Amino acid sequence: MTAVGIDAVEIWTGNLKLDLPGTFAPEKGEDPEKYTKGLGLNASSFPDSYEDIVTMGANAAHRLMERKGLEPDDIGRIDVATESAFDNSKPVSTYVAGCLEQVYDGDFHHANKGERKFACIAGTQSLDDACNWIRAGRNRGRSALVIATDTALYARGDAGEATQGAGAVAMLISEDPSLVELSTEQGYGSADETDFLKPNQQFPSVDGKRSVQVYLARMREALEDFESVAGEVHEDDFVYAPFHTPFPGMVRKAALLAYRHVIRDTSIEDELADEIGRQPRPEAFDSDEEYRDALREYMDALKGTDRYAEWYDATIDPTLTISREVGNWYTGSVHVARVSALKQALEAGRDLTGEKLLVGSYGSGAQAEIHAETIQDGWEEELEALNVDEQLADRYEMAWEDYEEIHDVHNHEMDVDVEEFTTPSEEFVFDGWGRMGERK
């Protein structure tokens, strides 16, 4: 079967930055280390007043098309994944196509467009759909454009306010991809959950602590389901494991869970047994509570071992570098984690062709998906072409008053207008609901 996967990727961050330990923490009267050490975040990206999910998505897609020398006729499908949509009928992909049609001679009338919604996992679902469309032979030689775009804003004062972010990831899905091939094996963990909802409202109603537990439970199920189709996962099978990253502290918890899982049936558990004992098995306990307590103790001990620390530093930590500086991008977040890890490897001069990634996506509501990817010959050129560092460095850093203003500007229930903080430069800009972004 021909390899299908991600041929190229582009990232577009919101043009504003909020310093969490320096600006946010003092206003909230909190210790800056809650953000840097606890949540694992230094800063969040925000959209300027002329940016929204359409402009960020279109800007990422345009950059990608320009870099790859593509015309509309090369694209047979445009899928947008978002949980920040403002239109319950017309998909965001049509708005994005409208933007792009302003700058290309051709149009996208031939392209199948849609919008995917399942909280943050929708980006990966769109990616899966695009791969399957190609595998089914329906693409007529064309590629798919998958765009994950969100403004992850919470109500002011909500605990989630610390984990906001805004940005878009555009991915080109093709046969014989240059970046990664996606495995056809996938594992799922899915349940009807109500920890994070937006029923006809812009800002989420979220039970933050419970949402963390639901993330972990669904990830565990997805890992088990993945192993049932792909075979056992072992410690050294994957060079990196990019996971959905609402904030890096969440991934620290998910990584420990994954590690306990991958060492369960291997000799590593035997090797660690003298140091921390064996993993508790539920059948050895009289009650669930006793089992949970023993498991918690084991996990704490596992976290303190050198072996786990080495695995975490090599496999997980490199996936978190960009997230630390941008916050949660919802649908784009796991795709930012992939870029982050590969970028680290590029900078370290590593040769990764043929190595594998274990990708863990998650969406509240709730569903997790695990799949594997194989890094392709050509990944270095794709990573070298990105300008993530420049984009992050060029953001305007907001004072607290700026942040309050911009949050109100993006609050759909308020009618607030402020001057833009940055000057748009060759990018699509938002100019009113229902209209497409004009390019300035």
Residues that bind ligand CAA (CB under 6 A): 31, 33-34, 37-39, 120, 159-160, 162-163, 196, 206, 208-209, 211-212, 215, 244, 246, 249-250, 328, 330, 362, 364
Output the smallest distance, CB 198 to ligand CAA, in A.
11
Output the smallest distance, CB 8 to ligand CAA, in A.
25
CB nearer ligand CAA, residue 31 or residue 107: 31
The single residue of 62, 99, 131, 244 carrying the catalytic annotation is: 244
CB nearer ligand CAA, residue 27 or residue 31: 31
Please give the Cα distance from 165 to 337 (Å, whole number).
Answer: 14
Task: Write the DSSP string, 169-228.
Answer: EEEEEEES-SSEEEEEEEEEEE----SEE-TT-SSPEE-HHHHHHHHHHHHHHHHHHHHH
CB nearer ligand CAA, residue 196 or residue 259: 196
Q: Beta 205-206 vs 196-197: how paired, if at all?
A: antiparallel
Task: Write the DSSP string, 231-243.
Answer: ----TTS-SB--B
Output the smallest distance, CB 48 to ligand CAA, in A.
22
Confirm whether 83 is a catalytic residue: yes
Please give the Cα distance from 316 to 391 (Å, whole number).
Answer: 24
The single residue of 10, 83, 181, 221 carrying the catalytic annotation is: 83
Please give the Cα distance from 130 to 144 (Å, whole number).
Answer: 6
CB nearer ligand CAA, residue 218 or residue 410: 218
Q: Beta 180-190 vs 16-19: how paired, if at all?
A: unpaired
Greatest distance between any 2 Cα atoms in the chain: 71
Output the smallest distance, CB 373 to ligand CAA, in A.
21
Instruction: Give the pair of three-digit tokens for residue 250.
Output: 């969440």
The single residue of 120, 181, 371, 427 carrying the catalytic annotation is: 120
Residues in the chain: 440
Confirm whether 261 is a catalytic residue: no
Output the smallest distance, CB 262 to ligand CAA, in A.
21
CB nearer ligand CAA, residue 256 or residue 345: 256
Confirm whether 221 is a catalytic residue: no
Please give the Cα distance from 84 to 153 (Å, whole number).
Answer: 9
Which residue is closest to ligand CAA by CB?
38
Catalytic residues: 83, 120, 244
